[in-house]
């Protein structure tokens, strides 16, 4: 009589066939979706983050931290972990239903020779290269992209510009992809987002718009563009600042000393308080090229 096959899975998630949850021997929450494994592992100060693995063949109770390698961000709690896994599973289900086709391609792209492509629909093709990738749209398809997002030639790189393709052809993308595209346009193309939706974005709703507001507010202030731990003044960070955070040839620069425990860059830069942070003309740690921070 043959031995029973080890049970890899624990409880299956209702509504998500093939998605199962369990716990490791160390008590970590686990999940398996297809051949992708997920775990919520502890970090410092009571925080947790998501890690991923691939094709772990042992039962869940035998999984260990060393089975996981991909780091996929911070998690608030186990409920957030389950929500992330279920969102991932729904994305996979929807993607499979879209019927995208993988094809061989050696097409020339702005990012190098294509090493393979995915056909989303006639005239909508995503290319992968050795270093980057993105979409190419036919001329007919490209005319349907919003004019504030349209790229001449129909090439859309994969980091941000791809969102214009998803916005123009939402029927070709999963719910997760459409949400990512909407956020990308809102963050990095706020003028286009406002034109499309007929709504003005408020502070905190767009990274690019917030960045503009920051530099408009501090156009006449000294904003740090580079920093280093000062080897000549204990407890201080030596910084280089320019007016309005400008960069480039001919830009006036000044050095300041900022107490190290006070120097926190923030989202867009550190603003010098000229009443408190003194101009520094002494020996520079920048010249020593040691311990440089930015």
pLDDT at 16: 60
pLDDT at 70: 82
Euclidean distance between CA atoms 53 and 37, whole angstroms: 5
Among 94, 75, 76, 92, which residue's Cα sits nearest to residue 32?
92
pLDDT at 15: 54
Give me 174's structure tokens. Answer: 């999963």
Cα torsion at 167, 168, 173, 175 (round to 10°)?
40
pLDDT values of the chain reduced to their tens digit, one per residue, 294 residues:
333 333 344 455 555 667 899 999 888 999 999 889 999 999 888 899 999 999 999 999 999 999 998 888 999 999 999 999 999 999 999 999 999 999 999 999 999 999 999 999 999 999 999 999 999 999 999 999 999 999 999 999 999 999 999 999 999 999 999 999 999 999 999 999 999 999 999 999 999 999 999 999 999 999 999 999 999 999 999 999 999 999 999 999 999 999 999 999 999 999 999 999 999 999 898 864 444 444
Q: How far is CA 137 from CA 96, 145, 150, 171, 239, in A?
A: 22, 10, 10, 15, 46
Kindly report, residue by residue over 26-56, the tens digit of the pLDDT: 889 999 998 899 999 998 888 999 999 999 9
pLDDT at 47: 92
What residue ranges do the domains of the chain occupy?
Answer: 11-98, 102-197, 218-293
The residues, ordered by sequence, that sit 6+ positions from 74 with a Cβ below 8 Å of its Cβ are: 43, 47, 48, 49, 50
pLDDT at 13: 54
Kindly report, residue by residue over 112-163, the tens digit of the pLDDT: 999 999 999 999 999 999 999 999 999 999 999 999 999 999 999 999 999 9
């Amino acid at each position: 009589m043959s031995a029973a096959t080890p049970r890899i899975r624990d409880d299956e998630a209702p509504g998500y066939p093939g998605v199962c949850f369990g716990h490791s021997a160390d008590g970590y929450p686990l999940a398996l979706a297809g051949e992708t494994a997920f775990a919520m592992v502890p970090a410092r100060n009571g925080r947790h983050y998501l890690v991923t693995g691939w094709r772990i063949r042992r039962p869940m109770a035998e999984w260990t931290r060393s089975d996981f390698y991909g780091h996929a961000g911070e998690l608030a709690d186990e409920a957030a972990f389950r929500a992330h896994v279920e969102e991932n599973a729904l994305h996979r289900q929807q993607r499979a239903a879209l019927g995208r086709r993988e094809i061989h391609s050696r097409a020339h792209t702005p990012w190098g020779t294509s090493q393979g492509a995915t056909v989303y629909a006639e005239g909508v093709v995503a290319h992968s290269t050795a270093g980057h990738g993105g979409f190419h749209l036919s001329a007919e398809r490209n005319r349907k992209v919003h004019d504030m997002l349209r790229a001449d030639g129909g090439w859309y790189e994969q980091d941000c510009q791809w969102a214009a393709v998803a916005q123009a052809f939402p029927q070709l993308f999963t719910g997760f992809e459409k949400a990512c595209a909407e956020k990308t346009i809102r963050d990095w193309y706020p003028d286009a987002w406002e034109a499309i939706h007929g709504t003005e974005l408020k502070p905190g709703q767009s990274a690019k718009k917030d960045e503009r507001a920051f530099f408009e507010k501090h156009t006449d202030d000294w904003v740090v563009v580079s920093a280093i731990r000062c080897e000549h003044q204990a407890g201080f960070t030596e910084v280089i600042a320019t007016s309005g955070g400008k960069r480039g040839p001919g830009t006036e620069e000044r050095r300041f000393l900022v107490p190290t425990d006070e120097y926190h860059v923030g989202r867009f830069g550190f603003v010098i308080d000229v009443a408190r942070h003194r101009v520094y003309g002494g020996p520079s740690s920048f010249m020593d090229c040691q311990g440089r921070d930015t």
